Amino acid sequence: MKLIVGFGNPGEEYFNNRQNIGFKVVDILGNNENIDIRVKKKKSLIGRGTIDGEEVVLLKPQTFVNLIGESVLYIASFLRINVKDIICVLEDPSLPVGDVRIDTIYSKLTHPGILSMTRALKSDRFAKVRIGVGQPEEGKTMEEHLLKDFPMEENLILIDVLNKSEDVVRMLITHPTEEVQEKFNPEGAPKVKKRQVRKIRIRR
């Protein structure tokens, strides 16, 4: 079973904010697979179903982003979902609008939602689908930028990136993360250096 976590804030006033792009991807998955994300459980909205033959839980935490770990921990514990089977979808202002990256334990993200999940789960070994939302305009704070709607001129790019992000999540459900990174990350999957074992000669 896979747990797909969309990042976002509850409430109509936040619906189209940049910070709610994770919610949008989860909603698209739900709509396309006829999975209703309406069951209320422990400060969360959840929906259960199957995607490409795999059982999934779609999760939209209702705690606000900086406390998202509370919801994730409860649902993952309740359904006995392993950390490695969790996929989270979030906004990333370090990436231009339209860019998508897939990270796992190699990420050095300081996103408050990621930090909340890491503290709650006592691990960061979950897949992270980072969707670019661009940097703030001059004179605007990061908070103002993330809590602002996408402008009209970015709507076409937004449609493309939402579709691409859905494809990324679908592939993560059924394929190893490294394969997804090789396909979607421009730099491919991180190259992990193998630990060198020093040979010891035994004198006879």
Question: What's the CATH number where 85 sits?
Answer: 3.40.50.1470
Q: Answer whether residue 14 is part of any domain.
A: yes
Q: Answer whether residue 201 is part of any domain.
A: no
**pLDDT tens digit sequence for 129-187:** 999 999 998 889 999 999 999 988 888 899 999 999 999 999 999 999 999 999 999 98
Q: How far apart are CA 156 and CA 98, in angstroms?
A: 10
Q: Answer whether residue 194 is part of any domain.
A: no
Q: Answer whether residue 96 is part of any domain.
A: yes
Q: Answer whether residue 191 is part of any domain.
A: no
Q: Which residue(s) pair with 90 in the sheet?
A: 130
Q: Answer whether residue 203 is part of any domain.
A: no
Q: Answer whether residue 116 is part of any domain.
A: yes
Determine the average pLDDT of the residues in 44-67.
96
Which range marks the domain in which residue 73 is found?
Answer: 2-184
Phi-psi label, residue 52: left if phi above 0, alpha if psi -120 to 50, beta otherwise: left
Q: How far apart are CA 52 and CA 45, in angstroms?
A: 22
Angle between helices 21-32 and 155-174 (to 10 degrees): 60
- Choose among 101, 176, 130, 180: nearest CA to 7: 130
Q: Answer whether residue 193 is part of any domain.
A: no
Domain total in the chain:
1
**pLDDT tens digit sequence for 92-132:** 999 999 999 999 875 677 899 999 999 999 999 999 999 99
- Show Cβ contacts of residue 98 under 8 Å, excluding neighbours closer than 6 positions: 132, 157, 160, 161
* pTM score above 0.85: yes
